[in-house]
Amino acid sequence: MADRHIAIHDLRKLDKPVQLRESSLKFMTRRVACMADDIGFVTSSIEGRVAVDYFDPSPQAQSNKYAFKSHRQSADGSDIIYPINALAFHPIYGTFATGGSDGFVNLWDANAKKRIKSYGKFKNSVQAVAFSDDGDTMAVAYSRGPEEAHPITPSDDIGVDLKKNIMNEAKPKKLQ
C-alpha cells in the first residue's frame, strides 16, 4: 500500500487490480477488513484513524465513505494517538471492532457512525480481535507491538481474553 494506494482485486484474476484508489487515510495503513455483507471494507492506520469505504465506484456509493478518529487519549490538553492494530467484523450484525495500542477494543456501528461499546484496558496493546461464528464470543489477543522497542515481552504481558455473551452488546443502534 505504498503511496497510499489501495488495490482492489478479483481473487479469480490476480494479474491486475479491478480498482486502484487512494486511501482515505493520510498515514500508513495498519489493517484492512471486509464488511460481512461484502459491500465495502474498513482500513486502520498508525495514526489512530479508521476509514469506512465501499467497493461500488459510483459517486452515490462513494459519497457514503468516511473516516474517523479512534484510540486516542487526552493528556494535558493534547491527544495521545495510538495505532489501530486489529479490525474484525461481527458475523451477524455487521458491526466491527477496532483494537489499539492503547489496550482497548471499541465496537462500532458503521451505519450510525457511532461507538457502541468499549472494552479494556487489557494488559498490553491489542494485536488481534476475532468473533466466533455465532457472534456471541469475541477473542482479544494482546502483547507488545512492533512500535514498542522492547525485545523481550514478559509472558504475563501476552495473552488472549475471551468476552462471552456479547450478542446484545454488538447490536447496531437500530436494533437496540
Domain containing residue 57: CATH number: 2.130.10.10
Residue 11 domain-assigned? no
Residue 19 domain-assigned? no
Percent of the chain exceeding pLDDT 70 equals 93
Residue 60 domain-assigned? yes
Residue 22 domain-assigned? no
Which three three-digit cell numbers place residue 151?
525485545
Q: Is residue 138 within 8 Å of residue 129, measured between CB atoms? A: yes
Please give the tally of structural domains in the chain: 1
Residue 85 domain-assigned? yes
Residue 5 domain-assigned? no
Q: Is residue 109 within 8 Å of residue 172, measured between CB atoms? A: yes
Residue 106 domain-assigned? yes
Percent of the chain exceeding pLDDT 90 equals 68
Q: Is residue 52 within 8 Å of residue 40, measured between CB atoms? A: yes
Residue 54 domain-assigned? yes
Q: Which domain holds residue 125?
A: 31-175
**Residue recorded with cell 498515514:** 27
What is the rounded CA–CA span in Å between residue 82 and residue 8? 27
Angle made by CA atoms 155, 161, 164, in degrees to the nearest 5: 165
What is the rounded CA–CA span in Å between residue 15 and residue 11? 9
What's the pTM?
0.89
Structure confidence at residue 149 as a pLDDT band (50, 70, 90): low
Angle made by CA atoms 13, 19, 21, in degrees to the nearest 5: 145
With a cut of 50, say whether residue 1 has pLDDT above it.
no
- pLDDT (tens digit, 9 = 90+) per residue, 25-66? 988 889 999 998 999 999 999 999 999 999 999 999 999 999
